[in-house]
Structure 1
Amino acid sequence: MPEWPTADEPRVVIIGAGLAGCLLATLLGRRGMQVNVYERREDPRAAPPERGRSINLAISARGLAALDHVGLREQALSRALPMHGRMVHDPAGGRSFRPYSADGRRAINSISRSELNLALLDVAVKTPGVNVAFGCRLTHLDLDTGELRFATDEGPRLAQADLVLACDGAFSAARRTVTFRTGFTFGQDYLDHRYKELTIPARDGEFALDPDALHIWPRGESMMIALPNLDRSFTCTLFWTSEQFAALRSPAQIAEHFQAHYPDVAELAPDLVEDYLHNPLGSLATIRAWPWVHGGAAATLALVGDAAHAIVPFFGQGANCAFEDCVEIDRCLAESGNGWPGALAAYERRRKANCDAIAEMALDNFVEMRDRVSSKAFQAKAAAGHWLERRLPGRFVSRYELVSFTTMPYAEIPPRMRRQARLTALAAAGIAGLGAATVVGASRGGRR
């Protein structure tokens, strides 16, 4: 643990007023702390959302538990659309529904990222002790002096801090301060796949697709997904390789490709070509960093959320995981006998293995969604899993359910899956042996 500044009441600065920054600011403000939050973007309450940059959130048990800490759980659910399973679209336009849980009752929740951010921001600015400044881009952070500098439209802005909490995302400006420090391990692994958003609008005032599902168009090395919105539209996201995106340049090529590979979408998205041509391409990276806490002579920096461990979005856990970070910091503060130093040491120790685990599971789920979900073997395995879940409730639970519908630490899930796989194999072997014995017995009975 780095040396800690000696301030009695540390001056706390949060970089980033996104989902994690606003939640953490509220939790700390409710502990009676003075917290200054700096956000590079303009105030989202007055600025329009960026085009093609939403990737709707799928809020599940972990995120809802975190929102409960600041009284936003019910409000979030009231503005969300439950999705009880996957609707898989084949290349011919056929569809099949796959429930997420064995009983078909559990659902993840599609919610607007920008709307949830506004709700969290509203709670944060109303919390005593929390101040939020927009249009402040971090340009310099010196942990030996505690000085921060920001670029604004009015010119440079200075601030002082004893503790800086970096909640400014995967490409964190605050993290760059320590990127080349001795002992800091950092990596960013980009997928060759990139993403682009499209829209399926409401049709005659109603949803054009079933709103009770996360829609997937698996196409081997690529896929598209669609999540429902409250205005009865769907936000679609293409996950294609860079080469696939580069291959489609003209309106005719785009229209022809979708008609051949996504025929049902071509009929439901009248602005498909315009969206494809004008919406930006996004990158997908997994960020791994260690340690998360860095001290200087005057200030300490702690990485939170995507700044510490950005993951790809294929398990819908990015925001859920970042929210867990915030709650863990709050919990560690409540438990720590020596305040921030002990709390931050416990925070990074408890969270690192969990965040590494969900990063790997998210990458694996990408392969499942784009490729395995279409195979007969995968469908049979999923059906068998649900059969076991119904007959062994609480003892046999799918990975998806443990990730999405429980708050079990992520790191405990892979070993549990390995144990369940061994039990399943033993059970299958037993069933096969019983069947063989029955056949042999019948055969012998026939000879007698």
Structure 2
Amino acid sequence: RPRSTMEEPSGTHTKRKVVAVVGGGLVGSLNACYFAQRGFNVEVFETREDIRQAKIVRGRSINLALSHRGRQALKHVGMEEKIVSQGIPMHARMIHSLSGKQSPIPYGKKGQYILSVDRANLNKELLTEAEKYPNAKLNFDHKLQDWSPETGLMTFARSDGSTEHIEADLIVGCDGAFSAIRKQFLRRSRFNYSQTYIPHGYMELTMPPIDGEFAMKPNYLHIWPRNTFMMIALPNLDKTFTCTLFMPFEEFEKITSGDEVMEFFQKYFPDTIPLIGPDALRRDYFRLPAQAMVSVKCSPYHIGDKCVLMGDAAHAVVPFYGQGMNAGFEDCIVFDEILNQFDEDLSECFHKRTKKTPRMSWRYESSIDADLGGSLQMRAHVNSKWFLFRKHVDNILHLLMPKTIIPLYTMVTFTRTRYHKAVERWHWQDKVKHKCFLSLSLSLSVLQIWTAQS
């Protein structure tokens, strides 16, 4: 028999709506808190076992950079302070040149920083918080097989071979870039969908502590830009750094032996060899193959008032701008704001949400400009003298005219400006600055000619 609601407390006469959150990852568990906080009956369904009890946490382990959008979403359910206390502030990028020279580039104004947070720990904390609500239930080992967009009836399979049928008033698909919920969307007309794999993959390596302390300065996001590829390192609370090597798959495939690993690192990242350790490099490089990175775009994000996609299921992005988790978390708070605005009338909320999606996802030109622009910025341009000069000019102009000139990174990372609006403003600012530079150059040329003639 389909389960349609959870047990109501004694004395309750009104049936509360049931919200089924499919996916118990970061966005799913945070969404559970949001809906439970509103008084909905919430059931979370996760394919995997409970990661809080698992000996080995499977899935992506790439470090996360928590910034303003994500923090605001956590604050709304009372989780910001706890998560911030478990993160490590990164006030600037630390650029490592081939010669070993280190140059910091601050992220924003004094006091602005992003946080290095552990994905698994954050997920565990959010699941535990969701479980505190008496009207929320977590269901693990539930793999979605099928669901009906007309009735909200879902069928789940369990590892023991049994199946379970659950009926919900609202289904929230938070099941990642390869969403099972989204498969129903693909069967419908006028649903736009695309996925793109970039030619780069990533591989994680660990830099252990030295004498019980961090091997490098901890309050930075360390970057080794090397034109067509790069490596980054984020600090962890256990004094390690998680190093992530981003490189075209064809380059990964060229390295087939331990000696070739050492030759590669000696050529491009020589300062990291003693920090990671030669033996660890030879071993860990072949521990797992390079992982792929995909971006996903789709619209609309909902089917009637019965189902809605959020997080990577709606808009997966590659990690170079550090906004995947933050954009997913912002989905939660924006939808919550819309629920307030329309007094929880779901049909009105979804109609409004479709118009607001650029705030929550990287769509149209915004995806190309900001997402890939971020990768190019860190890979190659970050070592360019012109890039550094422009960064200093941007910071100075922002200091002098804080409401007129705002760097793109600042808008994306330290404000809740809609993503597409941030990119539009960035283009406008660039045109203004270009005209100013041109006028200044012409003025200096005229002055030089006048001085020479005098």
The TM-score with structure 2 as length reference comes to 0.91
Partner of 2:386: 377
Matching residue within 9, 12, 29 for 2:19: 12
From the superposition, tell whether residues 415 and 146 of structure 1 become closer, same or farther in structure 2 (CA, over 3 Å).
Answer: closer
Distance 1:306 1:345 in 2: 20
| 1:284-321 Cα deviation digits (max 9, x unpaired) | 111011111114xxx82211111011111111111110
Question: Could you tell me whether the CA contact under 8 Å between 1:53 and 1:197 is conserved in 2?
Answer: no
Q: Write the letter of the residue equivalent to 1:388.
A: L
1:418: which partner in 2?
Answer: 427
Alignment of 1:131-210 (within 5 A): 131-154=137-160, 155-210=162-217
* Offset of residue 32 of structure 1: 0.9
Q: Conserved in 1, the CA contact under 8 Å of 2:328 and 2:360?
A: no
CA RMSD of aligned residues (A): 1.9
Alignment correspondent of 2:76: 69
Partner residue in 2 for 1:242: 249
Report whether the alignment pairs 1:331 with 2:337: yes
CA distance, structure 2, for counterparts of residue 194 and residue 432 of structure 1: 42
Structure 1 gaps of 5+ residues are: 1-6
Residue deviations 1:71-111 (CA, integer Å, cap 9, x gap): 1111111111111111111223222111112x443111111
- Hey, what does 1:433 align to over in structure 2? 442
- Provide Cα deviations, 1:19-66, integer angstroms capped at 9, x if missing partner: 111111111111111011100111111013446831111001111111
Equivalents in 1 of 2:145, 2:38: separation in Å? 29
Kindly indicate whether the alpha-carbon contact (under 8 Å) linking 1:52 and 1:279 is maintained by their aligned counterparts in 2.
Answer: no
Pair 1:263-2:270 in alignment: yes
Equivalents in 1 of 2:131, 2:125: separation in Å? 10
Residue aligned with 2:211, SS: coil
SS of 1:356 mapped into structure 2: coil
Bigger shift: 299-308 or 219-228? 299-308
1:274 maps onto 2:283 in alignment: yes
Q: Secondary structure at the match of 2:52?
A: coil
The alpha-carbon deviation at position 337 of structure 1 amounts to 4.6
CA distance in 2, matches of 1:280, 1:46: 27
Q: 357, 363, 366: which one pairs with 2:372?
A: 363
Name the counterpart of 2:6.
Answer: none
Q: 2: distance between equivalents of 1:181 and 1:39?
A: 25
- SS of corresponding position for 2:320: coil
Question: Which of these residues, 311, 319, 326, is aligned with residue 313 of structure 1?
Answer: 319
One-letter code aligned to 1:247 = K
1:322 aligned partner: 328
**C-alpha distance after superposition, 1:100-123 (max 9, x if no partner):** 12x443111111111111111111
SS state at 1:288 partner? strand
Residue matched to 1:122 = 128
Please give the secondary structure, in 1, of the residue aligned with 2:321.
Answer: coil
Q: Which runs of 5+ in 2 are unaligned?
A: 1-13
Partner of 1:409: 418
> Which amino acid in structure 2 is aligned with residue 359 of structure 1?
S
Q: Is the 8 A contact 2:330 2:360 kept in 1?
A: no
Distance 1:127 1:254, change over 3 A: same
Secondary structure, counterpart of 2:362 in structure 1:
helix
Q: Quick one: structure 1 residues 92 and 219, their matched pair in 2 at CA, closer, same or farther if it must change by over 3 Å?
A: same
Q: Is the 1:312–1:359 contact (alpha carbons within 8 Å) kept by the matching residues of 2?
A: no
Q: What CA distance in whole angstroms lies between the structure 2 residues aligned with 1:418 and 1:145?
A: 45
- Tell me the distance in 2 between the aligned counterparts of 1:256 and 1:145: 60
Indicate the SS of the match to 2:196.
strand
Give the stretch that moved more between structures: 149-158 or 435-444: 435-444
* Residues in 1 aligned to 2:407 and 2:92: alpha-carbon distance in whole angstroms: 14
Q: Could you tell me whether the CA contact under 8 Å between 1:66 and 1:327 is conserved in 2?
A: yes
Q: Distance in 1 between matches of 2:86 and 2:301?
A: 34
| Distance (whole Å) between structure 1 residues aligned to residue 59 and residue 141 of structure 2 | 21
Aligned twin of 1:3: none
**Deviation at residue 221 of structure 1 after TM alignment:** 1.1
Q: Which residue in the other structure is 2:3 paired with?
A: none
SS at match of 2:172: strand
1:85 — aligned with what? 92
Give the C-alpha shift of residue 150 in structure 1. 1.5
Q: Equivalent residue for 1:108?
A: 114
Q: Give TM-score, length-normalised by structure 1.
A: 0.93
Secondary structure, aligned partner of 1:387: helix
Contact 2:317 2:362 in 1 (8 A): no
Find the aligned partners of 1:345 and 1:8 in 2 and give their Cα distance. 25
Deviation >3 Å, runs of 4+: 7-10, 48-52
SS in 2 for 1:277: coil
Cα distance in 2 between the residues matched to 1:426 and 1:105: 31
1:380-399 alignment runs, 5 A limit: 380-399=389-408
Measured at CA, do residues 65 and 131 of structure 1 come closer, stay the same or move farther in structure 2, by a change above 3 Å? Answer: same
Q: What per-residue deviation string (whole Å, max 9, x for no partner) do you get for residues 218-258 of structure 1?
A: 11111111111111111111111111111111111112211
For 1:245 and 1:52, locate their aligned partners in 2 and report how far apart those are by CA, in whole Å: 21
**Structure 2 CA distance for aligned equivalents of residues 421 and 403 of structure 1:** 16
**Which residue does the alignment assign to 1:291?**
300
Provide the C-alpha distance between the structure 2 equivalents of 1:49 and 1:212, rounded to a whole number of angstroms: 28
Q: Is the 8 A contact 2:49 2:141 kept in 1?
A: yes
- Would you say the 8 A contact 1:196–1:238 is kept in 2? yes
Name the structure 1 match of 2:7: none
